[in-house]
Amino acid sequence: MFKPPVKVGNGWDSYNQIAGGDDMTGDGIGDLVGRTVDGALYIYPGDGTGHFGDRSSFRWPSGWQEADVLATAGGVPAYGKPRILGVDAQGALYSYRSLNNGKLSDRRRDPAPYYCGTNPATRFAFASDLAMDGEADLVASCDDLLYTGATATEQQGFGWGGFTNFTGPGDLTGDGMGDLLARDSTGIMHLYPGVSTYPLVHFADRIGLGAGWNTYDTIVGAGDYTGDGRADILARTPAGALYLYPGTGDPHTPFKDRAGLGGGWQQYTHLTAIGDGKGDLLAVSSEGELFSYTGTGTGGFRPRMSLGRGWNIYRGLY
């Protein structure tokens, strides 16, 4: 059964096909595509209330009249977009895909990240689609260099050795591009806005977000935890207090005041975020048991669910 229809405007007869589906702009909200008779394709970004923002041309804007049928995909149970990465003591990299049912696929061995090899000093992050190709992107820093990408690899230059944490929570600036957070050794957080030119990754000039972020031993993010369509992050103190920083979409003040999510999180050796629209959290206990905390979409989590043991073989999850 459906609720009564809601009118979203006029002029839609200019399209000979319209399809709705998954998020195509990086804000966690489903969008709409329309194709004109002459083959131009446009995206209408959803705003989460049943309405849409101004249209924009698709990355390949013309030639779509050759397709008989257009369709977009939501979550595919066997091959969903969210993934996590595990790095073992030797530096080998493994990936697990979310099955969109609270469980993970069998692991797959991934090649050593770019030119870092299996260097145990490599710092990783798994960022929410920096290249705008529908895939999360690995971020690897070693020897003062930063490498990014999933289907294409790009070196981001020197000067990255002074950072102690990288986080790729998604679009923090409200422009539909995936962004990167980097904390330096003094505790200052920097925002690197993504300006991707598919399939490569580029960043605009960084924006300083202030000091004090070395208060936290873990900073993660992969989606919207509050249900407002903005990317958020989570941060844990060494004493085990977990905080939520809700996103604003403003590049200069990307977070609202933090909200406490309780204590006791020091019992976990690793925390990592996984995104399915609503941000979820994965946590590994000191005994190597992996737990899934499914996000409610209102800034909290449902009761944890065990995903099995043996996860202490990894020195890091991302």
The span from the CA of 202 to the CA of 186, in Å, is 25
In tens, the pLDDT along 69-80 reads 454 444 333 333
Contact 240, 263 (CB under 8 A): yes
Q: In whole angstroms, give the CA distance from residue 190 to residue 207.
A: 6
For the full predicted model, state whether its pTM sits above 0.75.
Answer: no
Contact between residue 117 and residue 111 where contact means Cβ atoms under 8 Å apart = no
Tens digit of each residue's pLDDT, the chain (318 residues): 556 777 777 777 776 666 666 556 655 567 777 778 777 777 778 777 777 788 877 645 555 555 444 544 443 333 334 678 788 877 777 888 777 666 788 888 876 555 566 666 677 776 666 666 666 677 777 777 777 765 445 777 778 888 888 888 888 888 878 888 999 999 999 999 988 666 667 788 999 999 999 999 999 887 788 888 888 999 999 999 999 999 998 999 999 999 999 999 999 999 988 865 567 888 999 999 999 898 888 888 889 999 899 998 888 888
CA dihedral (304, 306, 311, 314) positive or negative: negative
Residues 6+ apart with CB under 8 A from 252: 207
- φ/ψ of residue 276, rounded to 5: -135, 30
Cα(92)–Cα(215) distance, rounded to whole angstroms? 29
Would you call 5 exposed, middle or buried from its count of C-beta atoms within 10 A (0-12, 13-18, 19+)? exposed
Is the peptide bond preceding residue 199 cis, with omega within 30 degrees of 0? yes
Question: What's the Cα-to-Cα distance from 91 to each of 94, 96, 124, rounded to whole Å?
Answer: 10, 16, 11
* Chain-centre distance for alpha carbon 312: 24
